[in-house]
Structure 1
Amino acid sequence: MTDASTAPPPLPRVAVLAFEGISPFHLSVPTLVFGAAGLDSADPLYEVLVCAEQPGSLMTGAGYRISVDAGLEAFDEADMIVLPSWREGREASAELLGAVRAAHSRGARIVGLCLGGFVVAASGIADGRELVTHWAAADRLAAGHPNVAVRRDVLWLDHGDVITSAGVAAALDCCLHLARVDHGSAAATRLARALVLAPHRSGSQAQYIPVPIADPSGDDPIERAMAWARARLGEPLELDAWAAAVHLSRRTFTRRFRERTASSPQQWLLAQRLDHARLLLESGELPIEQVAVQSGFGSAVTLRHHFHRRLGLSPAAHRAEFRGREAGSIPVDAA
Structure 2
Amino acid sequence: MPASRLSVVVTRRLPEPVETRMTELFDVRLRETDDKMTREELAEAMATCDVLVPTITDQIDAGLIAKAGERLKLIASYGSGFDHIDVATARSRGILVSNTPGVVTEDTADMTLALILAVTRRIPEGLAAMQAGEWQGWAPTAFLGGRLGGRRLGILGMGRIGQAVARRARAFGMQVHYHNRRRLRPEIEAELEATYWDSLDQMIARMDVLTVNCPHTPSTFHLLNARRLKLLKPSAVVVNTSRGEVIDENALTRGLKAREIAGAGLDVYEHGTDVNPELRSLPNVVLLPHMGSATLEGRIEMGEKVIINIKTFADGHRPPDQVVPAML
- Give yes or no for TM over 0.5: no
**What is the TM-score with the length of structure 2 in the denominator?**
0.31
**What is the TM-score with the length of structure 1 in the denominator?**
0.30
